[in-house]
């Protein structure tokens, strides 16, 4: 059974600053709250500033940590540079970068995938994380180092016709994880969390019967509650993973090995 508080007794991020994209909902929100509970001040970004404001208020009220918000579309490189400058202007440092923002729009069939849809999916899931990792990773490498965490998907290795652009982008993201680990080591560690199905707001669009049949083939036999991302994120963010870099960590209930 899942724990109610997956951040209990997990590594400390006291004195650290974490920047989380897509931090206003779903897995991003869980990661923001967990890192604040672990002692980090947090920079929260997404396209929906009002949602970021709600999470920032929750951080400050429940943890006492500082929470900074900045609206950003991670598919737009000019906005990414502004985000990085604003975050460093607020905190003076970033110790943890979490490239969590993602999107996987529905489409009726592969022929119907438009160039606009394809470019948006690649922009948010691959192009943006590349630019953020480059800008933040370079500053980390010049300073005290840090940890970059890319939130990927099992679709990178087990794509279906329903998510091919998304799966291709996430496969690229896992590739970047290894490349950036080489580029910015030894002071910067870069790792990826390859997620399976989580019950976030996106899951509301799932066909429940089809999902249940699919989950039955997994070794753990279910989807994940959002807080089940926390242990992996805190591990990779903290010194507990001090000898871990270039790793793709699957948190998928066994989806990748399902029959």
pLDDT digits (tens, 9 = 90+) for 92-145: 999 999 999 999 999 999 999 999 999 999 999 999 999 999 999 999 999 999
Burial string for 5-32 (b: 16+ CB within 10 Å, else e) reads ebbeebbebeebbbbbbbbbbbbbbbbb
166 is catalytic: yes
- Say if CB 35 and CB 28 are below 8 A apart: no
- Say if CB 155 and CB 163 are below 8 A apart: yes
Q: What is the DSSP letter of 48?
A: -
Q: What percent of the chain has pLDDT over 90?
A: 86
Average pLDDT, the chain: 93
Domains of the chain: 17-257 (3.40.50.720)
3-state secondary structure of 195: strand
Q: What is the DSSP letter of 12?
A: P
pLDDT at position 213, please?
84
The whole-number average pLDDT for the span 9-20 is: 91
pLDDT digits (tens, 9 = 90+) for 22-68: 999 999 999 999 999 999 999 999 999 999 999 999 999 999 999 99
Residue 69: band (very low, low, confident or very high) from pLDDT cuts 50, 70, 90 = very high
pLDDT digits (tens, 9 = 90+) for 181-225: 999 999 999 999 999 998 887 666 666 777 788 888 999 999 899
pLDDT digits (tens, 9 = 90+) for 224-257: 999 999 999 999 999 999 999 999 999 999 999 9
Q: What is the DSSP letter of 123?
A: I
Determine which one of 88, 166, 184, 235 is catalytic. 166
pLDDT at position 259, please?
80
- Say if CB 118 and CB 165 are below 8 A apart: yes
pLDDT at position 74, please?
96
- pLDDT of 3 over the 60 cut: no
Q: What gap in Å lies between CA 244 and CA 221, rounded to an integer? A: 29
Q: What gap in Å lies between CA 259 and CA 244, rounded to an integer? A: 29
The whole-number average pLDDT for the span 150-167 is: 96
């Amino acid at each position: 059974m899942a724990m109610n508080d997956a951040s209990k007794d997990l590594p400390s991020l006291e004195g650290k600053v974490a920047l989380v994209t897509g931090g206003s909902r779903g897995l991003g929100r869980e990661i923001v709250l967990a890192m604040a509970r672990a002692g980090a001040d947090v920079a929260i970004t997404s396209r929906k500033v009002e949602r970021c404001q709600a999470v920032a208020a929750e951080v400050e009220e429940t943890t006492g940590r500082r929470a900074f918000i900045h609206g950003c579309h991670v598919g737009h490189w000019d906005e990414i540079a502004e985000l990085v400058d604003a975050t460093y202007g607020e905190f003076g440092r970033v110790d943890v970068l979490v490239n969590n923002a993602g999107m996987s729009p529905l489409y009726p069939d592969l022929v119907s995938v438009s160039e606009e849809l394809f470019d948006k999916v690649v922009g948010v899931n691959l192009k943006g994380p590349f630019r953020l990792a480059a800008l933040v990773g370079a500053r980390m490498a010049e300073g005290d180092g840090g940890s970059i965490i890319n939130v990927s998907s099992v679709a990178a290795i087990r794509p279906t016709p329903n998510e091919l652009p998304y799966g291709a982008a996430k496969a690229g993201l896992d590739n970047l994880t290894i490349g950036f680990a080489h580029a910015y080591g030894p002071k910067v560690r870069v790792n990826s969390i390859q997620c399976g199905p989580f019950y976030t707001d996106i899951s509301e669009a799932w066909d429940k019967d089809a999902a249940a049949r699919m989950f039955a083939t997994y070794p753990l036999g279910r989807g994940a509650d959002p807080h089940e991302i926390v242990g992996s994120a805190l591990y990779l963010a903290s010194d507990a993973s001090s000898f871990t870099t270039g790793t793709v960590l699957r948190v998928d209930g066994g989806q990748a090995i399902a029959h």
